[in-house]
């Protein structure tokens, strides 16, 4: 991953934005000293905490079988019964 992508992932962590799997893997593999190149000690600690949060989120998503929101199944607007059953 290019340096600009790591900086973007670092900023996404500070904004509490969801991370892509590639960003998560890259940040998870970085040492604390490498993270401090992109921000302060407090920001690096927060990024480390957000990486842990996102790891749990991805694990839960994998276990539950949830799909990506970009899938066609999520194209319908939500209703009080959707996605519990189809009207077909």
Would 62 be classed as within a structural domain?
A: yes
Structural domain including 20 reads: 3-74
Would 64 be classed as within a structural domain?
A: yes
Location of structure tokens 């519990």: 84
- Assess whether pLDDT exceeds 90 at residue 40: yes
Would 83 be classed as within a structural domain?
A: no
Q: Specify the number of domains making up the chain.
A: 1
pTM: 0.68
pLDDT value of residue 37:
92
Proportion of the chain above pLDDT 70, given as a percent:
68
Contacts by 42-51 with C-beta closer than 8 Å and gap 24+?
43/10, 43/14, 46/13, 46/14, 47/10, 47/13, 47/14, 50/13, 50/14, 50/16, 50/19, 51/13, 51/19, 51/24, 51/27
- Assess whether pLDDT exceeds 80 at residue 23: yes
Average of per-residue pLDDT across 7-16: 93
């Amino acid at each position: 991953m290019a340096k600009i992508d790591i900086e973007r992932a670092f900023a996404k962590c500070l904004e509490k934005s969801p991370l892509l799997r590639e960003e998560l893997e890259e940040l998870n593999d970085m040492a604390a000293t490498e993270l401090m190149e992109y921000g302060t000690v407090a920001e690096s600690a927060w990024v480390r905490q957000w990486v842990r949060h996102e790891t749990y989120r991805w694990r839960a998503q994998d276990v539950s079988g949830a799909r990506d929101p970009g899938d066609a199944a999520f194209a319908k607007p939500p209703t009080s019964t959707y996605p519990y059953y189809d009207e077909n």
